Chain A
Amino acid sequence: MIDDMPVLDVAGISKRFGDLEVLTDISFTVTRGETVCVLGPSGSGKSTLLRCINWLERPDAGQIYLNGDRIGINNGGVVMSDRELSRVRTRIGMVFQHFALWPHLTVLQNLMEAPVQVQKRPAAEVREEAMALLAKVGLSDKSDVFPARLSGGQKQRVGIARALAMKPDVLLFDEPTSALDPELVGEVLLVMRELAREGRTMVIVTHEMGFARDAATRILFLDRGRVVETGPPERFFVNPDTERARQFIQRYAAG
């Protein structure tokens, strides 16, 4: 049954930088329409995990499947060429902590660049969809503006719209609100809540506990590179299984 197949299947991922073991045997699956929030203290390997999923970092061990297709290793069992990796990456949308918009392109061009240049979809069709996405994130009037003229919150909303323009199978968010002034966090979370409600498949690394509690379908709690606990937010936040999760939640609730 196709419907039973997870969109994302991460099996036994490990990654070390020199002597430092950043990720140890991480496994989880994400089914269609799920919003998985990855929580954990700083340095627990959350961002590295996200970057391993689309092979921005090459995992040392383990397998990653996107709708059943192995990422990073091709059918011949060898590491994919840059070209092969590029093709898989177009199916994974990514939102970056520091927005990472392309400074030489306008907002609309930022949305259209990869769909037209990489996915080779017709520009007129992409433009129409891009304008609809900008309307969705509330930035229709900024289409011809360069990113440098936007506030942080606006930049990140463009970042989200840019990822959506690829029509990806799954969206990865790498601490999307961490670089924002506190008063700008809300507008970005609002867009992300809307996406969760629509049933987009998302993996979100975040420190926004309130958002994780309301919007996540499942929490993945990492500490020192291991999955310590996973479960629905109702259970995780109210009655976690592990002492470490309890401490983590208390610290965030207090601070």
Chain B
Amino acid sequence: MIRDFAIVWSERGLLLSGLGNTTILSVLSAIAGLVIAFGLTPALMSKQRWLALTVRVFVDGMRCVPFLLFAYIVYYGLPSFGIRLDNWSSGLVALTVYHAAYLAEILRGAWAAQPREPIEAGIAFGFSGPRLFRRIILPPLLLAAGPVIGNQMIQIVKDSAFLTIIALPELTHAASSIQSRHYVPFAAFITAVVLYWGLCLVIEAGVSGIDRLAAARR
């Protein structure tokens, strides 16, 4: 068994580059997903019924599709419509769009639970449109929803593992290559698990930082 882990250690370069790629994928799609959610959430709360309904259909639809299937559609399905993305772009698009829907729903829930008066005060003091959302509505949402958003970030990290099926060289892909090259499945996969766990610890540290900010404000 120790010999197996020694083999994994000898392939550490491959694992680390996989970990690096998983991190890049997760960070980029978390940021892009949040930014898209910042656009979707006001639409979900919009008084324009057609807009709210359109976005609602998208969000609910996304949440009912298994991520693996969605990644397949983006990578293998879209070329039928003339949209051909390489595996990196496909992976990023799939992760981002999929989780943007979840994040939008998380923010909508937090918004619905906010007291109405501070937002009304924003309107009364001359805020409107994107400035009202950015300066008055959004900051309390992020503070209130911090832990749930953190949870979603962890989900993003874990879903990125599915992208091994479109040959994206992320962490699971690296572990898989090592195991098939040397036939050390347990050592290779358990090492990957530990590395995923490390990523989640980093996210949780970030969440508890946000929670400290929030605690001072409630």
A residues near B (Cβ < 8 Å) are 54, 56, 82-83, 85-87, 89-90, 92, 94, 96-104, 113-114, 117-119, 146-148, 162, 166
Residue of A nearest to B117 (CB): A100
Residue contact B126 to A89, C-beta cutoff 8 Å: yes
B121 at the interface (CB under 8 A from A): yes
Interface on B for A, CB 8 Å cutoff? Answer: 115, 117-118, 120-129, 131, 135-136, 139-140, 143, 216-218
Given contacts A98-B115, A100-B117, A102-B136, contact A89 B217 (CB under 8 A): no
Tell me, in angstroms, the Cα distance from A117 to B217 when the chains sit together: 21
Q: With the chains together, A92 CA to B139 CA distance in Å?
A: 25
**Interchain CB contact under 8 A, A89 and B124:** yes
List residues of chain B with CB within 8 A of the CB of A87. 126
Counting chain A CB atoms within 10 Å of each CB, the highest count among B115, B117, B121, B128 belongs to B121
Q: A113-B135, A117-B135, A146-B216 are in contact. Are A102 and B126 (CB under 8 A)?
A: no
B217 with A103: CB separation less than 8 A = yes
Decide: B131 and A117 in contact? CB cutoff 8 A: yes
Residues of B within 8 A of A56 (CB): 120, 123-124
Contact (A118, B125) CB under 8 Å given A98-B115, A98-B117, A146-B217? yes
B interface secondary structure, majority? helix
Q: Is the CB of A82 within 8 A of B129?
A: yes
Q: How far is the CA of A136 from the CA of B124 in the complex (A)?
A: 23
Which chain B positions have C-beta within 8 A of A94? Answer: 121, 124-125
Q: Across the interface, name the chain A residue whose C-beta is closest to B136.
A: A102
Complex CA–CA separation, A113 to B122 (angstroms): 10
Query: With a CB–CB cut-off of 8 A, which chain B residues contact A85?
Result: 128
Residue numbers in A under 8 Å from B143 (CB-CB): 104
Chosen A-B contacts, 17 in total, with CB atoms closer than 8 Å, are A56-B120, A87-B126, A89-B125, A90-B126, A94-B124, A97-B117, A98-B115, A100-B115, A101-B121, A104-B217, A113-B135, A117-B127, A118-B125, A146-B217, A147-B217, A162-B125, A166-B125
The interface residues of chain B lying within 8 Å CB-to-CB of A97 are 117
Candidate in A94, A102, A117, A166 with the most chain B CB atoms within 10 angstroms: A102
Contact A102 B118 (CB under 8 A): yes
